[in-house]
Chains A and B, each alone.
Chain A
Amino acid sequence: MISIFSGGVRLEQKKSRTMKNRIETLPAPKIIAVPLPGAQTSAQRCVREGDVVLRYSQLSMPIRNVAVCAPAGGKVLGIRAMPHPVSGTVDCAVIETDEAAGEIRLESPGMGAEPDEIIRLSAAAGIIDEYDGIPLFKKLKRFRRLKIDWLAANVLDDEPYVCSGLAVLKENRAAVRAELELAAAACGASERKIAVASEMRARHYARISGAESDMLVSGGGIYPAWPRLLREQQLHGRRPGLVGVQALAALYEAVEQGRPQVSTVVTVSGEGAKEWKNLRVLLGTPVGELLAACGAEKDAVAVAGSPITGGVVTDPETPVTADTRCLVVLPADAPEKKVFPCIGCGRCARVCPMRILPWYLQRQLQENRYPDPQKLYRAEKCCRCNACSVVCPSGLSPAEAVARAAEIKERG
């Protein structure tokens, strides 16, 4: 289908090798550093140094963020600020795990489809959307406020290598569908879909058939897929919203068994790793454990979050957070892209989903020390997908120029 929407780039997917196997569960490591988002003060935390916790006991209860439960029982060694795999730092409860510690017995909350109940449960169960790191309850609240009427499970995985979402969908199809209903009820959406980057790819990788196959909507097989997907819905007069598939699967467990989100699925792949796997790991597992489980080379570079927008993990102690969808391991001797001056091919503008002209902004910034904000067209619309930097044949980073231009424009 020829679409009127411009933008996006087609990338080699490199998912087959990872998708061949089922999700593998990694045993609890000796030490985990459970991220406690939003719990900066001790008043918002439920544990102190030296406490012994059971599995599923409450670790933090902040007002404006999700409550976090212990993924494994053991002794709390302290609260430490650890590097966040995607950006910045996060306060973590460092726990020395003990298999004999036992766990709290969980019960299904036995609830109906009351919107407020669902939202409260998703906050109490500590569910975080894996695509953007926003707590599910906040997302649902916002969707309700915005009167979203078209809700889709986000199984895009539009970056190469990453397929944790597809793997979760493949193994939890019924759960995802059921929870999509529930989430839709929570925010009042009437239409429920499964958003994928490409229908063909989803059918192939996630073995989708039957009822789910009718629910698929595709973003045209491009990266980034969501701008096009959402814009198409908006053109049809709908108000669309996306919820991460892992968050939905976690909501299912919370509803059915009363289990909080204590684990997440992370894709570990890349040419620097021997085995490419989707691993189910406890939140707070050190990244080094995942790399070791997949036979990563010693001096390889691990990129967390997304191979296109993510960041390098330098510390192997960095904990896995709910929004760590992948670890791409690049070999140390990967070739570097040569840098040339801009030759004006205009590719950056053609792939931009927001119709920015990155080359133009870059030239404006290069030529003028104090560029005219009026001339930095559309810089503020940037969605930070980095597609322009991916395709630049000169090896430049137009995305950085756009970000700088947006900053200048904001300051006026």
Chain B
Amino acid sequence: MMIRTKTAPFLRTEESVGSMMRDMLLALAALLILPTVHYGVSVLKLAAVSVAACVLAEIAGCLVAKREINISELSPMVTGMVIAAMMPPGAPYWLPAAAGAFAVLAARIPFGSTGHTPFNPAAAGLAFATVFWPGEMFRYAQQSPAAALKAGLKPEAVPSEMLWGLTAGPVGTTAALVIAACGLFLFVRRAANWQIPFWFLVSAAVFAALFPRILVPPLTSVKYEMLSGSLLFCAVFMMTDPVTAPRTVSGGALYGLLGGILLMLMRRFGVYEQSAGFTVLLMNAAAPLIDGAVCSLQAERRRGREKEE
């Protein structure tokens, strides 16, 4: 806590952007443990390729833009790890490399580096890969629960089996319990705020209970929707990105609520079985508007109150 600066305050908390990103990386790395046990070392190679692609793209981009190369805050690596976690286990190595390069070169470098990106780079990279190579992005050994639900079928796995990541799906997103534990770690360490995922999951769950995609009781529908696909992962690791999410507390709640509904609508009416990347991108676009609206609303309410006084 004792950190020196030139001006007051002379004490600052030790938390920094670097430490937040480090926690994020740690949580993302923990997600890869179970898949490595299931699918072998190829998962780790996938992650390594993805991270390397992002870091190299960052360095190349900075060189071209004649900007100082600074990867000490680790955010390109976080982007790489998020992309890796969203890849299918047997993905060819060029797929995460392409997604990572697009994420950094198209969604990060042109806007300036950390803190200035209007869209989550990882989400942009995933959307890019999904649009160009949907076949590769959703190729699993067996039918994934998300694909079954998309086809209007009941997944073969029961919800309790989906907790441990035994079902088909993107590498880092199938073990719901591990994601929940990582989420808890991030919230406790305050590397991510808990309000956005909370409201995101609440609205998605309510939507799933009200409009089940398959003929099951509402509660079963909620369980399947929550545990299938990348919903949980998206809630914890992508919606919480502070740069692209609203900064006000009530704005964050609105962002989460709308994001949950949007994701469920995409699952129902969209083309792809995974549309988390698109949801995040669309919500990112709305985030500044939400913040602006919340700020001016609060200001008006206060002005009204002051006039009354």
Binding site for B on A (CB under 8 A): 9, 11-12, 159-160, 270-271, 301, 303, 307-312, 328, 330, 334-338, 340-346, 349-350, 357, 359-360, 375, 377-378, 386, 389-395, 397, 399-400
Contacts and interface: CB of A to CB of B under 8 A. Distances in A.
Interface in B1-24: 1-5, 7-13, 15-20
B16 A395 contact: yes
Contacts of B15: 391, 393
B4 A343 contact: no
A393 B247 contact: no
B17 A394 contact: yes
Nearest to B3: A337
B13 A11 contact: yes
A393 B20 contact: yes
A350 B249 contact: yes
B299 A334 contact: no
B115 A338 contact: no
Q: Which of A12, A308, A337, A400 has the most CB of B within 10 A?
A: A337
Nearest to B117: A343
A360 B296 CA distance: 11
Given A345-B242, A346-B242, A394 B10 contact: no
A292 B248 CA distance: 48
A274 B252 CA distance: 47
B17 A343 contact: yes
Nearest to B113: A341
Nearest to B14: A337
B11 A11 contact: yes
B243 interface: yes
B9 A340 contact: no
Nearest to A392: B12
Contacts of A393: 13, 15-17, 19-20
B9 A390 contact: yes
B73 to A, nearest CB: 6
B295 interface: yes
B47 to A, nearest CB: 24
Given A334-B2, A334-B3, A342-B115, 10 more contacts: A310-B8, A336-B3, A336-B4, A357-B247, A377-B295, A391-B13, A393-B17, A394-B17, A394-B115, A395-B16
Q: DSSP majority for the A interface? A: loop
B242 A344 contact: yes
Contact of A308 (B9, B18, B112, B114): B9
Nearest to B192: A345
Nearest to B7: A397
Given A344-B242, A377-B295, A392-B12, A330 B115 contact: no
A337 B2 contact: no
B302 interface: yes
Contacts of A338: 16-18, 72
Given A340-B73, A344-B242, A349-B247, A310 B13 contact: no
Contacts of A357: 247-248, 295
A340 B8 contact: no
B67 interface: no
Contact of A386 (B9, B18, B113, B298): B9
8 contacts: A310-B8, A328-B11, A330-B10, A334-B3, A337-B12, A340-B73, A344-B243, A375-B299
A173 B180 CA distance: 50
A9 B302 CA distance: 25
Contacts of A377: 295, 298-299, 302
B116 interface: yes
B16 A394 contact: yes
Contacts of B17: 338, 340, 343, 393-394
B230 interface: no
Nearest to B240: A345
A409 B64 CA distance: 41
A160 B3 CA distance: 13
Contacts of B115: 340-344, 394
A170 to B, nearest CB: 24
A387 to B, nearest CB: 8
A390 B13 CA distance: 6
Contacts of A344: 115, 242-243, 245, 247
Contacts of B50: none
B247 A12 contact: no
B193 interface: yes
A307 B11 contact: yes
Contacts of B9: 307-309, 386, 389-390, 399
B267 to A, nearest CB: 28
A392 B5 CA distance: 13
Contacts of B7: 397, 400
A308 B10 contact: yes
Contacts of B112: 341
Contacts of A342: 115
Contacts of A334: 2-4
Nearest to A360: B295
Nearest to A311: B8
Q: Which of B2, B9, B19 has the most CB of A within 10 A?
A: B9
Contacts of A395: 5, 12, 16
Contacts of A346: 193, 242, 247-249, 252
Contacts of B12: 337, 389-392, 395
A308 B8 contact: yes
Contacts of A328: 10-11
A341 B114 CA distance: 7
B187 to A, nearest CB: 13
